């Protein structure tokens, strides 16, 4: 084997991926390459290869947070698909990026295993003659401070400094880069301050600035916890802040956004790519989740990924003035309060339905944000995908929770034009979600609950705003409505047939949740 020149992960001219395939379990259909909808851990390395070679994605998110992990992924990829990776080296043309557990909220032993995996993968890669480590960036979920970002780098340095002849780490990967994932509306809004502080302490620690940064904004969890309008506006504010910070610090920032297929979770699917690009100008990398890849025709998926790869690098974020930001923050505060005031009353039935949602990946109990198993808050909600799936299965898309009252508030305060300026496809998103509304189910719920009555009032405000009645239009949407009626009627008995109805409805809307 030809020995190549040693190159560490300090190179600065790296390719920035535009599309990152992920393991989010939101697909309804069977993957085109698999024999069933459920994807066990043993098949995820093969999925990684196919995401690159067949779909054209340029990054794959290998998730260590809350799920089982195949720790031999790099060896599998090299041994089973060496011809492909010899022409498209990992870490140079395509990228495998670990999403780590945050040691603040999840057991730290999984973090240690991930670090050892990265270091050993670098040695394996060098053994095969590659000149760049295959893994050199990691995603830190639930990022809330600059200090925890740097602590992760220092922890890796300590692991990597272990010396023994059998380890053969050889300094090939001496420092990792951190992709901070911001997962709440409040954290997303102030994330530029976290990045600015990180740059200061990074420069003090390493005597230089990082060559670039990739701030990563969640789209599903903020919506789950705060609602759709606050989430979209927070992301727009953050994109404006990143643009200003990049200019101030003279360092490239390449924002990332984690978006699912349905409007509540981001509205990124092969049929809505151009709308999404226009909505989130300035985002450099987007997640291509399972529903995007497996619930649409294969050629349409490939074309959509190609369009994202070509277009996202050319987009620039809009700048938001301080005066506009102040008004947007006012809308966010009001809309967030409206959303949160309904969640406690909605949680019980959502939790019941979530029990019947078909599983798509091997997962542990997830540590989340809004009163999950850590005991924060007064209520317990499922993950964002299950939450969205449960409400769509009920015929009451979560896009409508608190949203109508927030729009009415924006109208009353003279801020509707501003809201529509920065949430460009607000009307289209509501119309799209509205086709899956079962008003009959909602009215029945409203008869027994003030919370659901409030949701019904929100729907009325939205209909007045749009100037149309919401509900199914196409034959498929009408079939979806019939399935939601069956799901709702079956709930008192907790009949297992509910799972079949949920699966059929998900196939019709082309996403589990």
Tokens found for residue 156: 């890796």
Q: Are 501 and 393 in contact (CB under 8 A)?
A: yes
Q: What is the pLDDT of residue 170?
A: 53
User: Which is nearest to 25 in space by CA: 392, 383, 394?
Assistant: 383
User: Which is nearest to 383 in space by CA: 480, 236, 265?
Assistant: 265
The dihedral through the CA atoms of 410, 416, 419, 423 has a sign that is positive
Q: What is the pLDDT of residue 169?
A: 58
| Buried/exposed code over 384-411 (b: 16+ C-beta within 10 A; e: otherwise) | bbbbbbbbbbbbbbbbbbbbbbbbbbbe
Q: What are phi and psi of 99, to 5 degrees?
A: -100, 110
Q: How many CB atoms lie within 10 A of CB 55?
A: 22
Q: What is the pLDDT of residue 107?
A: 61
Tell me how far the alpha carbon of residue 293 is from its chain's centroid: 14
Q: What is the pLDDT of residue 116?
A: 78
CA distance 235 to 191: 10
Q: Are 396 and 441 in contact (CB under 8 A)?
A: yes
Percent of the chain exceeding pLDDT 70 equals 91
Torsion angle defined by CA atoms of residues 490, 496, 499 and 504, in that order, rounded to the nearest 10 degrees: -70
CA distance 8 to 122: 10
Q: Are 350 and 381 in contact (CB under 8 A)?
A: yes
Q: Are 152 and 198 in contact (CB under 8 A)?
A: no
Superfamily (CATH H level) for 19-314? Phosphoenolpyruvate-binding domains (3.20.20.60)
CA distance 234 to 16: 24
Q: What is the pLDDT of residue 108?
A: 59
User: Which is nearest to 407 in space by CA: 450, 353, 451, 465?
Assistant: 465
Q: What is the DSSP string of 158-223?
A: HHHT---TTT--TTSS---EEEEEE-SHHHHHTHHHHHHHHHHHHHHHHSS--S-B--EEESHHHH
pLDDT in tens, 272-323: 999 999 999 999 999 999 999 999 999 999 999 999 999 999 999 999 999 9
Residue spans per domain, the chain: 19-314, 322-509
Say whether pTM exceeds 0.95: no
Tokens found for residue 9: 């992960």
Q: What is the pLDDT of residue 117?
A: 81
Q: What is the DSSP string of 246-281?
A: HHHHT--B--EEE--SSGGGT--STTSHHHHHHHTT
Q: What is the pLDDT of residue 3?
A: 33
What tens-digit pLDDT sequence spans the chain (513 residues)? 333 333 334 445 789 999 999 999 999 999 999 999 999 999 999 999 999 999 999 999 999 887 778 888 888 999 899 999 999 999 999 999 999 988 877 665 677 788 878 877 777 777 777 878 888 899 999 999 999 999 998 888 877 666 666 666 555 676 789 999 999 999 999 999 999 999 999 999 989 999 999 999 999 999 999 999 999 999 999 999 999 999 999 999 999 999 999 999 999 999 999 999 999 999 999 999 999 999 999 999 999 999 999 999 999 999 999 999 999 999 999 999 999 999 989 999 999 999 999 999 887 654 444 433 333 356 778 899 999 999 999 999 999 999 999 999 999 999 999 999 999 999 999 999 999 999 999 999 999 999 999 999 999 999 999 999 999 999 999 999 999 999 999 987 766 799 999 999 999 999 999
The dihedral through the CA atoms of 468, 469, 474, 476 has a sign that is positive
Q: Are 169 and 123 in contact (CB under 8 A)?
A: yes
> From its phi and psi, is residue 17 left (phi > 0), alpha (psi between -120 and 50) or beta?
beta
- DSSP H or E stretch at residue 233: helix 228-249
pLDDT in tens, 176-233: 899 999 999 999 999 999 999 999 999 999 899 999 999 999 999 999 999 999 999 9
Tokens found for residue 224: 């789950």
No. of helices (H) and no. of strands (E), the chain: 21, 8
Give Cβ neighbours of residue 335 (< 8 Å, ≥ 6 apart): 226, 227, 229, 230, 402, 403, 405, 406, 409
Q: Please tell me what DSSP assigns to residue 55.
A: I
User: Which is nearest to 143 in space by CA: 117, 169, 182?
Assistant: 182
Q: How far apart are the first and last CA of the chain?
A: 48
Beta-ladder partners of 406? none
- DSSP H or E stretch at residue 437: none
Q: Are 259 and 299 in contact (CB under 8 A)?
A: no
CA distance 192 to 188: 8
CA distance 317 to 334: 25
CA distance 73 to 98: 11
């Amino acid at each position: 084997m030809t020995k190549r020149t040693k190159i560490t992960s300090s190179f600065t001219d790296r390719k920035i991926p535009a599309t990152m395939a992920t393991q989010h379990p939101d697909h309804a259909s069977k993957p085109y390459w698999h024999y069933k909808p459920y994807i066990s851990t043993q098949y995820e390395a093969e999925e990684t290869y196919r995401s690159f070679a067949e779909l054209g994605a340029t990054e794959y998110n290998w998730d260590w947070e809350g799920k089982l992990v195949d720790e031999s992924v790099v060896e599998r990829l090299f041994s089973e698909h060496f011809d492909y990776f010899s022409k498209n080296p990992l870490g140079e043309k395509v990228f495998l990026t670990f999403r780590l557990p945050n040691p603040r909220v999840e057991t730290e032993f999984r973090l240690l295993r991930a670090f050892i995996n990265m270091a050993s993968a670098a040695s394996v890669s060098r053994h095969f003659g590659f000149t760049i480590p295959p893994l050199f960036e990691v995603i830190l979920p639930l990022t809330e401070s600059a200090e925890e970002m740097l602590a992760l780098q220092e922890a890796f340095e300590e692991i990597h400094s272990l010396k023994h002849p059998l380890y053969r780490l050889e300094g090939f990967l001496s420092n990792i880069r951190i992709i901070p994932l911001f997962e709440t509306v409040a954290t997303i809004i102030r994330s530029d301050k976290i990045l600015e502080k990180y740059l200061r302490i990074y420069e003090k620690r390493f005597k230089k600035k990082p060559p670039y940064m990739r701030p990563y904004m969640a789209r599903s969890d903020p919506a789950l916890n705060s609602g759709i309008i606050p989430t979209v506006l927070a992301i727009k504010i953050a994109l404006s802040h990143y643009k200003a910070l990049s200019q101030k610090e003279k360092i490239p920032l390449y924002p990332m956004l984690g978006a699912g297929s349905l409007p509540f979770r981001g509205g990124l699917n092969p049929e809505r790519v151009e709308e999404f690009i226009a909505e989130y100008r300035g985002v450099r990398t987007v997640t291509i989740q399972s529903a995007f890849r497996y619930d649409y025709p294969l050629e349409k998926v490939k074309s959509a990924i190609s369009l994202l790869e070509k277009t996202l690098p050319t987009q620039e974020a809009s700048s938001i003035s301080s005066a506009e930001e102040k008004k947007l923050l006012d809308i966010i505060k009001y809309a967030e309060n409206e959303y949160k005031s309904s969640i406690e009353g909605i949680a019980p039935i959502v939790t019941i339905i979530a029990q019947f949602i078909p599983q798509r990946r091997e997962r542990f109990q997830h540590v989340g944000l809004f009163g999950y198993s850590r005991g924060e808050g007064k209520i317990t909600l499922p993950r964002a995908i299950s939450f969205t799936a449960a409400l769509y299965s009920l015929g009451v898309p979560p896009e409508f929770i608190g949203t109508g009252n927030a729009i009415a508030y924006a109208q009353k305060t003279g801020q509707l034009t501003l809201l529509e300026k920065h949430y460009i496809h607000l009307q289209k998103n509501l119309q799209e979600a509205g086709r899956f509304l079962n008003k009959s189910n909602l009215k029945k719920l409203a008869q027994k609950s003030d919370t659901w009555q409030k949701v019904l009032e929100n729907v009325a405000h939205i209909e007045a705003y749009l100037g149309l009645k919401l509900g199914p239009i196409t034959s498929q949407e009408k079939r979806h409505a019939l399935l939601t009626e069956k799901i709702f009627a079956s709930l008192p008995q907790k009949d297992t047939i509910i799972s079949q109805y949920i699966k059929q409805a998900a196939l019709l809307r082309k996403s589990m949740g």
